[in-house]
Amino acid sequence: MEFLQTLFGWIGDFTWGWSLVPILVIFGIFITIATGFVQIEYFGRMFRVLSNKNNADDSNQISAREALLVSVGGRVGGGNIAGVAVAITLGGPGAVFWMWAIALVGMATSLVECS
């Protein structure tokens, strides 16, 4: 039992230090390649879903657009929005580029995590 505690303690110390970001990026790139660039493949479909109106007869039915917006709102949250504002303020245009680059990798990671 002590071996497992020591092992997981070492893994926890390693992953919650400076190495967390490179580990997440490497796994994100791996997942992106393994899923066949799923975040780029379905990017156009997202805009088609957003532009469609609810054509259902039942007024209580949730449209695909409403479901997408609720799920994005629940996934992003207020903390991420505040973090982006601070990053743009402190980092400038370079921070925006890296946020977009990491967001593309994070989309595939999020898909695998939520599935």
- DSSP H helical segments within 16-54, as ranges? 20-34, 38-41, 43-51
pLDDT-derived band at 25 (thresholds 50, 70, 90) equals: very high
Query: Percent of the chain scored above 70 by pLDDT?
Result: 95
User: CA 83, 42, 101, 11: dihedral to nearest 10 degrees?
Assistant: 80
Q: What pLDDT, on a 0 to 100 scale, did the predictor assign at position 70?
A: 85
Look up the pTM and report it.
0.68
Q: What pLDDT, on a 0 to 100 scale, did the predictor assign at position 4?
A: 94
Mean pLDDT of 46-71: 75
Q: How far is CA 44 from the centre of its chain?
A: 17
